[in-house]
Amino acid sequence: MKTLVVIGQGYVGLPMALRAAEEGMSVVGLDTNAKVVDNLNAGVSHIDDISDDELKSGLKAGYLASTDASCIADADVVVVCVPTPLSADGGPDLRPVEAAAGAIGEHLTPGTLCILESTTYPGTTEEVFAPLVCRDQFKVGEDVNIAFSPERIDPGNEKFGVKNTPKVVGGITPECTRLAKEFYSQFIDTVVEAKGAKEAEMAKLLENTFRHVNIALVNEMVRFSDELDIDLWNAIDCAETKPFGFMAFRPGPGVGGHCIPVDPSYLSHRVKAKLGYAFRMVELAEEINDAAPNYVATRVWALLNQGRKSVNGAKVLLVGVTYKPNISDCRESPADPLAARLLAWGADVSYFDPFVPKWHPHGVDVVLESVEELYDTAEGADIVVLLQPHAVIDLSRLGTIATAILDTRGIMSGNSVEAL
């Protein structure tokens, strides 16, 4: 039985730790947040994808949360799942990764397999992570094995989780890759070997840059399609019938979450820093997607104007303020800049979201509370903006009672509904 330490007990680290415990491993979930650790050991989960009952089962199976990094000394495998937010210069803030690597280096014993899962630019595992882990005391591939494996957690996805989502692994040496694959194969169905760590790092950025660029494409097309009186949503549905050579992406209020708005910037920053020229495709996609919430605000203004109403003082109800449906995560949600723009114009903004009781939109000095009665509030609003179609929302009912609806997802119908 292997002893595993997973550093970082958030939306990536906790599900992995519990999945490994389920397969019989002795697992320590290491985190710097003492309150989170105490709650985890008490069976109280803090992420959407893990219920309290699932956590309690994991505790019985061999999972334990801790703030004590000395547990690394007894580990056969250490996996790092800490956040890498954007820094002020547009690159990844590697301080959490560096802190985790430093803690590993302080307690490391020979023969340990160390895997970085935190998303970052190609070269981080070899240039930043490995030196801090080894501390000039160990040699990679001989004394310690180091690899990168990009996280592929999709919060709220009921079809794909840790077990059945293919795992990419790339080691600094072929032996590192082999051992990483051997480790993950114990509790993940499919493990794919990359040529090396840099290729595994690039694979993650490629996945999310692909989405970022294609979302930007349709977010740009939806603007001029509206002005040309073209139903882009219908055009996309028609194009999707082609059984080859096309993948459907649909417009929206902007991109959000922990990956799409952030990860491509790592690659853009790396290219500019190392090669001296811009990754223009990503920079343009960022410009378009960052402008999407303001376009939504402009459409709200236009629809109110059609009804002979001023946006100043208008009752605007936002429905769903998380970055994706059926979760409570508001990170980088496009609802934030949208609310900020509407409030700056003097709109009376309210919102409904069953997953977010209180909401402090970034950039404004107000804290809002979710309305209790969605449909009563919608009936009295001057305009309703559908941002996230949470499953608990009756869209048909909403479409029949609201005076005006801006549907940013293109999924509603009715005389009062206007698609983005």
In this structure, are residues 370 and 356 in contact, taking their beta carbons and an 8 Å threshold?
A: yes
Distance CA(319)–CA(406), nearest Å, equals: 10
CB 64, CB 55: distance < 8 Å: no
3-class SS of residue 258: coil
For the CA atoms of 68, 72, 75, 79, the dihedral, rounded to the nearest 10 degrees, stands at 100
| Encoded amino acid at 159, one letter | K
Beta-strand ranges (E) seen in 130-187 are 145-148, 167-171
Find tokens 């005076």 and name the residue. 403
Tell me the CA distances in angstroms from 43 to 38, 40, 55, 309, one per residue in order. 9, 5, 6, 51
Q: What stretches of 228-309 show up as alpha helix (H) in DSSP?
A: 232-239, 263-275, 280-306
Q: Using CA atoms, how far apart are residues 141 and 389, in angstroms rounded to an integer?
A: 49
| Contact assessment for residue 235 and residue 218, using Cβ atoms and an 8 Å cutoff | no
Any idea what DSSP says for residue 305?
H
Which two three-digit tokens encode residue 177? 């890759």
Residue 275: CB atoms within 10 Å: 9
Residue with token string 């040496």: 173
Residue type, 324: K
Residues that are catalytic: 259
Compute, in degrees rounded to 10, the torsion defined by CA atoms 122, 123, 128, 134: 130
Angle made by CA atoms 38, 44, 50, in degrees to the nearest 5: 125
- C-alpha separations of 181 from 3, 77, 144, 272, 366 in Å: 16, 12, 15, 32, 48
Rounded CA-CA distance 81/9 in Å is: 7
Structure tokens at 99: 């802190």
